[in-house]
Amino acid sequence: MARKIGGLKQLGSATPLPKSPQEAELERVPNPHQDTPYIARFTCPEFTCLCPITGQPDFAHFVIDYAPRAWLLESKSLKLYLASFRNTGAFHEDATVGIAKRIVELIEPAWLRIGGYWYPRGGIPIDVFWQWGAPPEGVWIPDQGVSPYRGRG
User: Of 35, 44, 49, 51, which is the active-site residue?
Assistant: 51
User: Of 44, 58, 94, 143, which is the active-site residue?
Assistant: 58
Q: Which amino acid is at 100?
A: A
**Catalytic annotation on 44?**
no
Nearest in space to 100 (alpha carbons), one of 79, 114, 83: 114
**Catalytic annotation on 94?**
no
Strand ranges (DSSP E) for 74-118? Answer: 111-118
- Residue 75 vs residues 36, 42, 67, 69: alpha-carbon distances, Å: 20, 8, 15, 16
Q: Rounded to whole angstroms, how far apart are CA atoms 32 and 70?
A: 8
- Point out the residues that are catalytic: 51, 58
